[in-house]
Chains A and B, each alone.
Chain A
Amino acid sequence: MEQEDLFNVGGLALRSRLLIGSSGYPSPQIMMEAVEASGSELLTVAIRRVNLSDTSGESLLGLLTSLPVHLLPNTAGCYTAREAVLVAELAREALETDLIKLEVIGDDETLMPDVEQLLQAARTLIDSGFTVMAYANDDPVTCRKLADMGCAAVMPLASPIGSGMGLTNPYNLALIRELIPDVPLLVDAGIGTASDAARAMELGYDGILLNTAVSQAKHPVQMAKAMRLAVEAGRFAWRAGRIPRRRYAQASSPFEGRVEATPT
């Protein structure tokens, strides 16, 4: 029997290589169904102020307890290392997990990371015992620094968050994988449809983190399933090893024994 291809990250051994976000679904019910259809075992959540004007409503956490997922809190919305570290500490206290998806955003238009603040926050959090999964630019140097520092996973973007543009720089993503063979790498942000996820996996990435591509799809539950299959297909293809590209055709059927019609 084929050995199970588990994804080990931050002390977890996951069967699914698809990490999914919990934001922006048409309804909580559809979110639940989509997460289930995705097969994901690691679900991202944000840390936000409790709504003090109404503490009666069903909490997200209450809803999520029925799902077989681990929670991955994020530091979304943080612009400085200081903010990100505080949010991570609050997340650890609230959710009793050392896992943190570290995001330190540089500007509102691109939502790209502020590298200086990101590296500083990653260092502080690792020193405080956090298991850091760092959302990064698709820059081999930054990714290498995060990996060397001891991040549990480094997660370069395919294209800006929520843009759905897919892999805008597959060359960089391939380089990052080649240069960092020893630390889990995920493509986080920018995935638009299933083929984007498959393509990233075919580059040898360990996993995909996405949210909008599913939550804002016309049919989120169906797209969640499509993503699950795409991530699996891409992973299989990577492990199987693709054929080299050639510039000219090469017949698949043998030349020998072919039928020759008599010239008339």
Chain B
Amino acid sequence: MTTPRYFVNGEARTLASDMTVSDLLHAEGVHPEEVKGVAVALNNTVIRRAEWSRALVNDGDRVEIVTAQQGG
């Protein structure tokens, strides 16, 4: 059996069991209680901030963590 993994902003990571979106953000150094202006999509669906501590990450999931940057 292959190690379960997920992808965050295109990079592969090893999946821990019962990992939530909040856990994932902490692991990436993005602290939800401090960071404003961040949004998360799990497999092309936006996960609202209020759901971060409940939404589970599964094997093969693709997670996008985005923020505002310079743009025209």
By a beta-carbon cutoff of 8 Å, the part of chain A in contact with chain B is: 21-25, 31, 44-50, 52, 55, 59-61, 71, 73-74, 76, 82, 86, 89-91, 93-95, 161-162, 211-212, 215
Q: Which residue of B lies closest to A88 (CB)?
A: B46
Q: Given the complex of chains A and B, what is the CA–CA distance between A211 and B41 in angstroms?
A: 28
What are 18 A-B residue pairs whose CB atoms fall within 8 Å in the complex? A22-B71, A22-B72, A24-B72, A45-B70, A46-B71, A47-B68, A47-B71, A48-B66, A49-B64, A52-B29, A61-B37, A73-B68, A74-B71, A76-B71, A82-B44, A89-B46, A93-B39, A94-B68
A67 to B72, CA, bound (A): 17
Interface centre among A21, A55, A212 (most CB of B within 10 A): A55
What residues on A are CB-neighbors of B72 within 8 Å?
Answer: 21-24, 44, 46, 74, 76, 161-162, 211-212, 215
- Find out whether the CB atom of B36 lies under 8 angstroms from the CB atom of A61: yes
Q: Please name all residues of chain B whose beta carbon is closer than 8 Å to the beta carbon of A48 when the two chains form the complex.
A: 66-69, 71
**From residue A228, how far is it (CB to closest CB) to chain B in Å?**
17
- Quick check: A60 and B65 within 8 Å, CB to CB? no
How far, in whole Å, are A212 and B66 apart by their CA atoms in the complex?
24
* Interface bin, chain B: 20 to 34
- Do A52 and B28 form a contact, CB below 8 Å, given A46-B69, A76-B71, A212-B72? yes
A47 touching B67, Cβ below 8 Å:
yes
A22 to B71 CA separation, bound complex (whole angstroms): 5
Q: Which of B9, B11, B37, B46 contacts A95 (CB 8 A)?
A: B37
CB atoms of A21 and B65 under 8 A apart: no
The 4 closest A-B pairs by CB, nearest first: A46-B71, A21-B72, A211-B72, A94-B39
| A90 near B68: Cβ-Cβ < 8 Å | no
Q: Which of A31, A44, A52, A211 contacts B65 (CB 8 A)?
A: A52
Is the pair B65, A91 in contact by a Cβ cutoff of 8 Å?
Answer: no
Interface string of B23-40 (1 = CB under 8 A from A): 000001110000011111
List 19 additional A-B contacts (Cβ < 8 Å) besides A76-B71, A94-B66: A21-B71, A24-B70, A44-B71, A46-B72, A47-B68, A47-B69, A49-B64, A50-B28, A50-B66, A52-B29, A52-B65, A59-B67, A71-B68, A82-B44, A86-B44, A86-B46, A90-B39, A90-B46, A161-B72
Interchain CA distance A44-B49 in the complex, whole Å = 23
Please determine whether A55 and B68 come into contact, CB atoms closer than 8 angstroms.
no
Distance between Cα atoms of A21 and B72 in the complex (Å) = 4
Docked pose: A46 CA to B37 CA in angstroms: 12
Kindly identify, within residues 1 to 56 of chain B, every residue whose CB is under 8 Å from any CB belonging to chain A: 8-11, 28-30, 36-41, 44, 46, 48-49
